[in-house]
Chain A
Amino acid sequence: MQTITRRRALGLGAGAFVVLAVGEAAVATPAESDAEIAKFTGGKAPEPGKIAIDLPEIAENGNTVPLSITVDHPMTADNYVSDILVVADGNPRPGVALFHLTPLSGKATAATRIRLQATENIIVVAKTSGGKFFTDRKQVKVTIGGCGG
Chain B
Amino acid sequence: MADTKPRLKVPSEAKKGEIVVLKTLVQHVMETGLRKDKSGAVIPRQIINRFTCEFNGKPVFSCNLEPAIAANPYFEFTAKVEESGTFKFTWVDDDGTVTTAQAPITVT
Q: Which of B60, B67, B73, B76 contacts A104 (CB 8 A)?
A: B60
Stretch in B4-12, B77-85, B88-96, B97-105 touching the partner: B77-85
Is A146 engaged at the interface, CB distance under 8 Å to the other chain? Answer: yes
Which residues from B are CB-within-8-Å of A101?
A: 61, 77
A21-65, CB under 8 A of B: which get 1 and which 0? 000000000000000000000000000000000000000000111
- Interface size range of chain A in the complex: 20 to 34
Total A-B pairs in contact (CB under 8 Å)? 106
Q: Which of A63, A64, A91, A105 contacts B80 (CB 8 A)?
A: A105
Total residues of chain B contacting the partner, CB 8 A: 29
Complexed CA–CA distance, A93 and B55 (Å)? 33
Q: Which residue of chain B has its CB nearest to the CB of A106?
A: B80
Is B46 engaged at the interface, CB distance under 8 Å to the other chain? Answer: no
Using a CB-CB cutoff of 8 Å, which residues 86-100 of chain A contact chain B? 88, 91-93, 95-100
Q: Which 4 A-B pairs have the closest CB atoms?
A: A106-B80, A148-B35, A106-B19, A111-B76
